[in-house]
Structure 1
Amino acid sequence: MTTSTARTRTGVTPALKPYLRLLTATQFAFNTGFYAVLPYLAAHLGDGLGMAGWLVGLVLGLRTFSQQGLFVVGGALTDRYGPRPVVLTGCVLRIAGFCWLAQAGTTATVIGAVLLIGFAAALFSPAVESETARAAVTYETETGTPRAQVLAVFSAAGQAGAFLGPLLGSLLLLLGGGFRTACLAGAVVFVGVLAGHARLMPRRPRRVPVPGAGVVLPREVFANRPFLVLCLVYSSYLVSYNQLYLALPMEVERATGSQGALGGLFALSSLLVVVAQLPLTRWSARRIAPRAALPAGLVVVAAGFAAVPLAPDGPAGLLPAAVLVVLLTLGQMLLVPAARGLVPDLVDDHRLGLATGALSSVSGAAVLVGSAATGTLLGAPGPVLWAVLAAVPLAGAALALTLSGKGRTPVAGTTVTD
């Protein structure tokens, strides 16, 4: 039995190889730099630049579209050229975007900057996520450590960055640096990421390019029924998770008369992931098969929505919202590492980047449609609203049960090892 396997069985976080440590640190740094800026963008556009509310919403929507909607492009480029040039290019574009946003003072320049920032993420995120999934499969084969545990470390690192980033941005604003300083601080973080990857990321492609690997919409991915089922299952989770930005603010305002407590609830969610992701994943790996973790997590998410109208009002007015955040976050911690870990089993290895990007892009499109649909229900009676919201992850859980228990065997010699 290897040392890593022994550590896993005794409940200690597995010792990751240098390449996996690099990818995990990358996720932490990405989110630290990004969230040092993003939470303060809307206020800067509205109060600092005097944009109308609808225009602020349009700018934020364009940023999301240029990121999530183009993940499939970044994934396809990763498959064609390898992760190194895609990640390095994404870092350069993110640095340029943050520097541009720091100076932008007109609607056109702001839109150009946020589109560049979003497209940068559409390049490097699929590359890093697909490399992490590929390396996690290899690590599982070599040590017996479930890949979900490696992906849980990756998720926890991202959430730690999402928690630290706003604190960094707040500190800079409190010190009088302003939004421009926060943007430049975010750019500095990505300069560090760029330097680290230029030095440490493998210089050669993982394999000889497969004929047709650069095709953006290959049949073997988008006519792959199990992968499309996984996309729909993951979409039901993301539509539900997006209610943190739609239904949760409404519930907090109903309970307290303002949205002032939202920041604390978001911090609670991030801290839960940082503290509990690894223990929960270790427990799940011992007791639940990876494909079973998907419906289990979605059922927990559904329970969060169902509990909102049942929780008491009065002095404990925030209790329903807190229950929703806790259960939704617990469900996320169960299902996200499992979903990401299933992708290498469902698609050919030379399409892994594209599939990873497609998973996010398809889910992002579902969120766009689902948010519009659920937005029309926000004025409905509470029991109706929360019942409909609970039905979405329940439908995803039922669909997840149709995924085959047999996975594709990873192809030997196609991964980067240390």
Structure 2
Amino acid sequence: MPFRDYPLETRTLLGAQLVFNIGFYAVVPFLAGAMAADYGLDAAAIGLVLGTRTFSQQGMFLLGGMLADRWGARRAILTGCLVRIAGYATLAMASGFPLFLLGAVLTGAGGALFSPALESRLSHSDQPSGSGDPGRERGRRRSVFVWLAITGEIGAVLGPVLGSALLGWGFDAALTAGIGVFAVVTVLLWWLLPAERAPRPQDQGGEVPAAAPSAARVRWACLRDRRFVVFCALAATNMLVYNQLYFAVPVELGRRGLDGAWLGALFLLASVLTLALQLPASTVGQRLGPGRALTLGFVLEACAFTIAALTSVHPGSATGSMAPLTAAVAVMIMGHMLLTPTILSLIPRFVPAQGAPRGRGAYYGLAATCGGIAVLAGNAVLGRLLDLTDRHHWWPGTPWMPVIVLALLASAALPVVLRGQSPLRPADSSSTTAPSSRAR
């Protein structure tokens, strides 16, 4: 579906994601440098602050999703914006380690509240309207998560540009701009985003369901659904692979004796490919269907690391070429573009049909938390393998073999997990997601 054809609420949420990312990337990429240069923190303290920020966001996604189900997505989104403002304000006041640590926790917690709530609310725009054949209607509609990927990437590109421009006035200027960005987002969302209708005990026919689950039971249902937990564990490979832009790619540049400045060019390549090809990639994914799109996406990610492994060299042995690494990043991004919207659009299939209308935040939160755990554990294993490979002179591509195996495993297993999962029925969406009058 073209962007302009989505309802105002959906376009508002996508715009919020754009601005939220601008505010994030205008500050966080420069946090380590500011702590070292302006405040004299040592490497251990900086690493702890950055690690705590990541953990407080990724680790709290499930909790943030559950709060979105309890409070409603609108309240969770607005609270997430306010918590991130508090985090940036704390960083602006910080002059030593304790306040930097607190500000990092608040910054991460704000994202943990914001993202699952926004994704769960956007997921309702992915459903058919209730008229006609659902399968045919979905076939004509581009997933809203394609636009979420595009708007998020635009923010990830513009944010560092804004942050770099503001650093001339000091890190506090970037923090002040970030606070201003999030304040604007909060006001606009409070004004434009309608509140959810309170859940009713009756269905559309006026009959009370015989065994309607409690709200608390629905919130924990994602953890009791073994099929969904397996889906999240396999899908988390996508986040592990994508995060190698921050770990494996810089390591490979160093091993090949290439200048670190090339890293910026590879990040730019990833952004350009996403902005230019996300829509065509989504069209390919629609034509393939979810199962085959997942298979192709993970096979592409496995191919990317196969290229990296086959062309890898031991540190200091030779000056490598940028061409294989550039090809690996391009292939990886192609796989990521197929996978991310597909995975996000499939999550509502696992939500119980008789669940509460606010039952999706926990599902999106669990998926994100599994991704964070995969990145934490995966990077630890890869780092250990890198040390062992260099110490014992194993084949230089050895550290990347686990990523290849995991991607191939996900490509084969996820279509099997999806068998028997019925697409969302139109009635499910119309009976649970209609908004009330706009709340001021």
TM-score by length of 1: 0.90
Instruction: Give 1:417 deviation, angstroms.
Output: 6.2
The number of aligned residues is: 404
Contact 2:351 2:363 in 1 (8 A): yes
Deviation at 1:134, TM superposition (A): 2.0
Q: Partner residue of 2:65?
A: 75
The alignment partner of 1:54 has SS state of: helix
Other-structure match for 1:158: 152
**Distance of aligned partners of 1:234 and 1:54 in 2 relative to their CA distance in 1, 3 Å threshold:** same
Could you tell me which residue of structure 1 aligns to residue 433 of structure 2?
Answer: 415
Any idea what SS the aligned residue of 1:414 has?
coil
Q: Comparing 403-412 with 220-229, which one deviates more in the overlay?
A: 403-412
Contact 2:197 2:433 in 1 (8 A): no
Q: 1:156 to 1:416 in 2, by over 3 A?
A: farther
Q: Is the 8 A contact 1:149 1:278 kept in 2?
A: no
> Residues 145-224 of structure 1 correspond to what in structure 2 (within 5 A)?
145-146=138-139, 149-173=143-167, 176-205=168-197, 207-208=199-200, 212-214=214-216, 218=220, 220-224=221-225
CA contact under 8 A between 2:305 and 2:400: conserved in structure 1?
A: yes
Separation of aligned partners in 2, 1:28 and 1:215 = 33
Contact 2:309-2:401 at 8 Å conserved across structures: no
Q: Which residue of 2 is the match for residue 3 of structure 1? A: none
Note if contact 1:93-1:117 (Cα within 8 Å) is conserved in structure 2: yes
Under a length normalisation based on structure 2, what TM-score does the superposition of the two structures give? Answer: 0.86
Deviations 1:329-366 (A, max 9, x none): 11110011010000111112532111000110122112
Gaps of 5+ in 1: 1-7
Moved more, 160-169 or 374-383: 374-383
Q: Pick which of 106-115 and 15-24 moved more.
A: 15-24
Following superposition, the deviation at residue 312 of structure 1 comes to 9.3
Mapping of residues 16-415 of structure 1, within 5 Å: 16-138=6-128, 144-146=137-139, 149-173=143-167, 176-205=168-197, 207-208=199-200, 212-214=214-216, 218=220, 220-285=221-286, 287-311=287-311, 317-348=321-352, 350=356, 351-379=359-387, 380=389, 381-405=395-419, 406-410=421-425, 411=428, 412-415=430-433
Which deviates further from its counterpart, 135-144 or 287-296?
Answer: 135-144
How big is the shift at 1:416? 3.6
Instruction: Measure, in 1, the Cα distance between the counterparts of 2:254 and 2:15.
Output: 37
C-alpha separation between the residues in 1 aligned to 2:48 and 2:72?
33
Q: Which moved more, 1:380-389 or 1:91-100?
A: 380-389
Cα distance in 2 for partners of 1:222, 1:403 equals 16
Q: Percent identity?
A: 35
What displacement does 1:260 show?
Answer: 1.9
Structure 2 spans left out of the alignment, 5+ residues: 202-211, 390-394
SS of the aligned residue for 1:415 comes to coil
In 1, the alpha carbon distance for the partners of 2:346 and 2:113 equals 22
Q: Which amino acid aligns with 1:186?
A: G
Distance change (3 Å), C-alpha of 1:30 and 1:400: same
Calculate the aligned-residue CA RMSD, in Å.
2.4
**Residues 240, 22 of structure 1: alpha-carbon distance in 2 compared, 3 angstrom cutoff:** same
- 1:140 deviates by 8.8
Offset, 1:14: 6.6
Question: For residues 206 and 30 of structure 1, do their structure 2 counterparts lie closer, same or farther at Cα, with a shift above 3 Å needed?
Answer: farther
